[in-house]
A and B are shown apart, each in its own frame.
Chain A
Amino acid sequence: MAKYIGKRVFYMIITLFLIAVLTFVLMKILPGSPFDTERFEKLTPQQQQEALAKYDLDKPIYVQFFKYITDMLKGDFGTSFYYTKMPVTRVIFSRIGPSMLVGAQAILIGLAIGLSLGIIAACRHNGFVDNLTMIIAVLGISVPNFVAAALLQYYIGLKLGWLPVGFWESWACSVLPSLALCVQPLATSARFIRAETLDVLQQDYIVTARSKGMTQARLLLKHTLRNSIIPVITIIGTMVVNLLTGSLAIESIFSIPGIGGLFTDSVKNNDYNVIMGLTILYSFMYMLAILITDIAYSLVDPRIRIAAGKGGD
């Protein structure tokens, strides 16, 4: 297992490096420079040149990239151009908290409700709960989360006044955005677990277990869930990263200072160092999520563990 993880980490580092190279090149192809502002245009050409030189923007791309990578290995991600002189790490860490809290809450609520609904629906196949779950699932997948956000904000925040309409001042501010974001994981996980559970429930071993007089609850927990959860784990990994990395629409609607907004702003403003920092962070989180997913597989499914132990992936 340790050897397996070590190998994966090695690949992760190589992938990260390739992503860094690619992002760096793509970013430089973006038209404009971080200094293309109204005010910069008032400087004399000589002053403009000095400014570019100060940040090495006048050098060839490979020189800039080499410098970036060597600084990065020392833990220095550079300073932001937009947030004047502020280190990139500080810019990112000041914005990541709200996104993560909202995302984590959305995941927890979404999975808790979604998985329960899905399992109940499978047990009551074609019953009332099943139909209701499917309606919720279809709605949840087809209604964009910003529509849910706007509705929640208008009715619960404004009309009923139960929760703040936005901002980031207390925990209560995170409730509506979390609810808006949880709709999609809820619907997706409900659909997946329902289909898988239905499938498992028809397996021979379930019929055997049932004929031996096993109670429904024991049957579900011990024999069904463990089998039906495996495909769901696959989707949970990427879902978690998607939600933790912030949603531009939700953040904008609820005025949450998260990294979803930061990312789009940094692209718009050619804030090179922030774009790089965020891309590397996102990629890292994705790869970590995939790694954890794979490890989780082996914990849930002994067959995968054995296969990995024999040297297969």
Chain B
Amino acid sequence: MKKTLLALLLVAAMLSSVAVTAFAADDNVLHVYCDRVFRSFNQVTASDGNFFEVSGSWSEGLTRLDADNNPQPALAESWTVSDDGLTYTFTLREGLVWSNGTPLTAKDFEFSFITEISDSETNGYADVIAPIIKNGVAFMNGEVPASEVPVKALDDRTFEVVLAAPCAYFTRLCSLSCLFPLNEEFYTACGDQYAVDADHLMYCGPFVATSIDVGVGVTMVKNPTYWDAENVALDGIDYKVITDASAALNAYEAGAIDRVNLTSIDVVIYNTSDEFHTWSDFRNYYMQFDWTNDRLNAKMRKALSMAIDRETLVNDVLMTGAVGAGGVVSRGIAGDGTTSFRDLAGDFSYYDPDLARQLWAEGVAEMGSAPKDLVLLTAEGTDFDDVAVFVQDQFRTVLGIEVAINSMTQKARNEIMKTEHFDMALSAWGADYDDAMTYLDLWTSTSGYRGYYAKDEYVALVRAAQVEPDEAVRLQLMLDAEKMLIEEDMVVTGIYDRGYSFLQKPYVNGILNHPSGQTTEFKYVTLTK
């Protein structure tokens, strides 16, 4: 009898807890997710997309990107740029405070800028930021003290940065989380404990985190002391970690999350839904060759590039809203202000089966014989799997050649590329900022990861562009560089720019998507449940 009672009690307890949590509450909270665990909640070391999304919600930089991806005043209310384009003077808003009441001053920016470039191997964006700031690289390498880096708080509300060379996208970089303010006193007091839980973080953005966990996710509530709090409509954000795609879809169907990314298979089922949307970002997927490998000459490499029908790949295979690439610089990356870089350059990577066959035949004739046992390296468990099979099939049908796919873990693939020679490999790069340089400077590396390329003429073009003060000349140098990289040398060819297909509940408005940096922005979200 006692046991029956106990069992009944247990069942009752189960049912009551079920009633509380069975469906998402009808609240003014946005429920979203990311598909991978967080690596870190420390803005200095983090470089992952999910961190950018949450940190952009709980903190803010000097600038914040608007719906058109242009930097707008955020913690800085205005700024001036010197005539030589090197000195930026920011004026912070009046009365800025951290969530714990500490005043937020220009000192907090000085500390975060210096901290970010202090350690190259563990800091997420040191390699991007240091070369831009005067003496930045010298400081990172320990050659000059921090006092020689011209990143200075002139007074509580004035922050001055001197750059190494004019940088058209500097105010855009200021919207990245690695350059959000950081309170030195708090940061050093926390030590190892910094960012391990919600209490060991300071907040100055639209929201304040109430719990953070690398494997579970982040919960946030509205920050009443945020300078623009009146324009924040949400009461909070519930940001979960859901690594399994079908689990995420189930959660969306059950109403537990308001937005879900779809896999290619699910796109077929849902693409007629009113809740279906797509967007693409600045992550370029490319096929690269080994520059030192003499098994494939330039004509053959070009033929391989031209054998890939990019439209069929993105529309019928991937179906995730990806777009066919025209080169290694993603479509939409800034150009001269009115026309994008890609449109100015034209397409160097394109499908032309007839020319492909002709070039392949010519290439083989020059070599004397066709190369045997060509291998395409790829990393498993990513979009690469589908792409590799598609590309293999294209080589077979267009050129009539057999290429083997060697798929392994990303780490193993990278090691092979770095230590051995290879025929071709699939790889990708996501833009750190909206400028062609983010892609072009990669190929100045001598690493096998960049096909052992680093041709002197190419490196010279990129280095010249990096210090060129005249914007039009700089653009032309970059256009020439990409042309050399693909059109002349064909050491790499673009395949597609990543896309997302997703479902979003009709009551959600105002999620902004940016193609680089913080790719999803929740500050302006309103819910009309």
A residues with a Cβ closer than 8 A to B are: 30-33, 35-43, 45, 47-48, 50-51, 54, 82-87, 90, 94-95, 150, 153-154, 157-158, 161-173, 175, 252-255, 257-258, 261-262, 265, 268-270
Contact = CB atoms under 8 A, between A and B. Distances in A.
Given A42-B442, A84-B45, A168-B216, A158 B254 contact: yes
A161 B215 contact: no
Interface string B279-308: 000000000000000000000000000000
A87 B121 CA distance: 17
B74 to A, nearest CB: 25
A166 B17 contact: no
B490 interface: no
Contacts of B20: 170, 172
A166 B46 contact: no
A161 B20 CA distance: 12
A94 B215 contact: yes
B214 interface: yes
Contacts of B22: 161-164, 172
A146 to B, nearest CB: 10
B442 A269 contact: no
A36 B127 contact: no
Given A31-B416, A85-B45, A158-B253, A170 B17 contact: yes
Given A95-B215, A255-B244, A83 B40 contact: yes
Nearest to A35: B121
Interface string B435-472: 00000001001110110000000000000000000000
A85 B122 contact: yes
Interface of B: 14, 17-18, 20-23, 37, 39-40, 42, 45-47, 120-122, 124, 127, 141, 192, 196, 213-216, 240-244, 246-247, 250-251, 253-254, 256, 408-412, 414-416, 418, 428-429, 442, 445-447, 449-450
A158 B22 CA distance: 9
Given A94-B213, A269-B411, 4 more contacts: A36-B414, A36-B415, A39-B127, A84-B39
B411 A40 contact: no
A50 B411 contact: no
Given A47-B120, A51-B120, A32 B411 contact: yes
Contacts of B124: 39
B215 A253 contact: no
Given A172-B17, A252-B243, A38 B254 contact: no
8 contacts: A54-B121, A85-B192, A95-B215, A165-B254, A166-B242, A175-B14, A253-B247, A257-B214
Given A36-B415, A95-B215, A164 B21 contact: yes
A86 B411 contact: no
Contacts of A38: 428-429
Contacts of A169: 21
Contacts of B14: 172, 175
Q: Which 10 A-B pairs have the closest CB atoms?
A: A257-B215, A32-B411, A51-B121, A31-B412, A84-B45, A36-B414, A84-B40, A255-B242, A172-B17, A41-B449
A42 B243 CA distance: 28
B351 to A, nearest CB: 27
A262 B412 CA distance: 19
Nearest to A164: B21
B247 A83 contact: no
A269 B141 CA distance: 27
A165 B46 CA distance: 30
Contact of A82 (B39, B192, B412, B416): B39
Given A84-B45, A252-B243, A257-B37, A165 B121 contact: no
A263 to B, nearest CB: 13
A252 B213 CA distance: 16
B412 A32 contact: yes
A165 B214 CA distance: 20
